[in-house]
């Protein structure tokens, strides 16, 4: 009885996040990216999207909001959140052998902001949004 997994119902916030990630993936693919992973997890660390293009590997944080938006979504990627994304990226790059091919690639930390407004969606891409000092 103790090991039973309880199914959680997705919240409105979770559904909005998934919808935003779907939009972000289509957007990135339209730019020529190949999606390597979605919702990559290593322990308590997570990266929304990991993609690759001719320039290197992109670790992408997706921020989804419904208009009107008080603060631009990309401003919500705080230094603490950036640190967690970088730690997860290191786990990915130094993880399983199949990821090691990306170890020598250029690495980018991007943000994709998706705003939903009355059935319309606006996508803003912030390539290389932050550069960690110790990467």
**Candidates 3.40.1350.10, 3.40.50.880, 3.30.420.40, 3.40.50.10190; correct CATH number of 12-126?**
3.40.1350.10
Q: By mean pLDDT, which of 55-59, 79-83, 102-106 is the weakest?
A: 102-106
The C-alpha atoms of residue 134 and residue 117 are separated, in whole angstroms, by: 38
Give the angle subtended at the CA of 121 by the CAs of 25 and 48, to the nearest 5°.
30
Closest by CA to 114, choosing from 19, 28, 39, 32, is 19
DSSP string, 54-98: TTEEEEEEEEEEESS-SS-GGGG--HHHHHHHHHHHHHHHTSSGG
Mean pLDDT over each residue of the chain, to the nearest integer: 90
pTM: 0.88
Q: Summarize the confidence of residues 9-28 as an average pLDDT.
A: 93
The pLDDT value given to residue 36: 95
Q: Is the dihedral of CA 113, 27, 79, 128 positive or negative?
A: negative
Is the model's pLDDT at 14 over the cut of 80?
A: yes
């Amino acid at each position: 009885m103790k090991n039973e997994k309880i199914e959680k119902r997705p919240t409105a916030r979770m559904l909005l996040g998934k919808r935003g990630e779907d939009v972000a993936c289509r957007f990135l693919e339209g730019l020529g990216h190949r999606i390597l992973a979605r919702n990559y997890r290593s322990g308590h660390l997570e990266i929304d999207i990991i993609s690759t293009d001719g320039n290197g590997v992109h670790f992408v944080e997706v921020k989804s909001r419904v208009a009107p938006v008080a603060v631009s979504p990309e401003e919500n990627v705080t230094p603490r959140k950036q640190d967690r994304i970088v730690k997860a990226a290191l786990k990915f790059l130094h993880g399983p052998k199949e990821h090691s091919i990306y170890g020598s690639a250029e690495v980018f930390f991007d943000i994709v902001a998706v705003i939903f407004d009355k059935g319309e969606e606006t996508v803003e891409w912030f390539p290389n949004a932050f550069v960690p000092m110790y990467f």
